[in-house]
A and B are shown apart, each in its own frame.
Chain A
Amino acid sequence: MGLIARALEMEGIATTLTCWAKQIRLTAAPRVTLTQLPRGMTLGTPNDAAQQRRVLAATLALLAQDSPLELIQLDEEEGSWR
């Protein structure tokens, strides 16, 4: 997905991305937040709208800054829901 971000940025479209996979660093995507959430719940724990909105807000906030930025680590992890 970092490659798609690069393709868009090369056409002048600002991108931001949130991810759980450290390998995202290899793509050199320009604006990235990295969480400790598991695969399949990238925005947050199911039914935890507050967490989902936090991840979303932190990730979208990066769009205000010129890229490229250093990757931002977010202290967000899966809560109880199952």
Chain B
Amino acid sequence: MDIVENLAEWQTQFNKTWLQNYKETGEVNWRLYKRPRNTQSPSTPGIDLAQSKLMLISTAGGYLPASQPAFDAENDLGDYSIRTFASDTPASEIAFAHTHYDHAAVDADSQSLLPLQHLQDMVQAGQIGALSDVVSYSGYMPDVAQIVNETAPAIVAAAKAAGVQGALLVPA
């Protein structure tokens, strides 16, 4: 099982088309972009959430401006780094660096995209055993090989270090 089936083939095609065009013109052309396609899903046993530690993983570009650098949201080639912050971080301390979605909803109510309070409430109610730190990244990432080789290992390492049994993934 691989994260991306036929990654080498995908990368060759990406390099020859989308990336080559970008290097030559400085323009992003999504008509040249081909999404990877997987045919097989991985398998894990179900878990008892009430007895488990859960990690929220968000692509909304959330970061702590007081202590962390912003994501490079203006980079046409993407930013593949991650940030982590405590799950009880007040919403007022989180900013969002991501230029590929409308921030109106998250600005009006951060729970619509980063449900920290809802998850805390579920812990208090005994529905979730515990929460780990949040893993956050900016989800504009055209180079799938960099996701596989940089972002995914960093997130897996964070999840293992935190000792989580489950993860909730929320794209922006």
What CA separation (Å) do A16 and B43 show in the bound complex? 12
Whether the pair A30, B41 counts as a contact (CB closer than 8 A) is yes
What CA separation (Å) do A29 and B40 show in the bound complex? 9
Whether the pair B41, A14 counts as a contact (CB closer than 8 A) is no
Which listed residue (A42, A81, A82) contacts B170, Cβ 8 A?
A: A42
Which listed residue (A15, A29, A46, A48) contacts B166, Cβ 8 A?
A: A15
Whether the pair B166, A16 counts as a contact (CB closer than 8 A) is yes
Whether the pair B1, A10 counts as a contact (CB closer than 8 A) is yes
The size of the chain A interface, using a CB distance under 8 A, is: 51
The size of the chain B interface, using a CB distance under 8 A, is: 59
Name the prevailing secondary structure of the B interface residues.
loop
Contacts of A3 in B (CB 8 A): 3-4, 36, 144, 147-148, 152
Contacts of B21 in A (CB 8 A): none
> Chain B: residues with CB nearer than 8 A to chain A?
1, 3-4, 35-49, 52, 54, 57, 59, 101-106, 108-109, 111-113, 115, 118-119, 122, 127-128, 139, 144, 147-148, 151-153, 155-156, 159-160, 164-172
Q: Give me 13 A-to-B residue pairs in the complex whose CB atoms sit less than 8 angstroms apart, sorted by A's number.
A: A3-B3, A3-B144, A7-B155, A8-B167, A10-B1, A11-B160, A13-B166, A21-B171, A28-B41, A44-B112, A46-B105, A60-B122, A81-B108
> Chain A: residues with CB nearer than 8 A to chain B?
1-21, 23, 26-30, 39-49, 52-53, 56, 59-60, 63-68, 81-82
What CA separation (Å) do A54 and B159 show in the bound complex? 26
Whether the pair A8, B41 counts as a contact (CB closer than 8 A) is no
Give 12 new A-B contacts, CB below 8 A, not counting A3-B4, A53-B118.
A3-B36, A6-B3, A7-B3, A14-B167, A15-B169, A16-B167, A16-B168, A17-B170, A18-B169, A40-B103, A40-B104, A41-B113
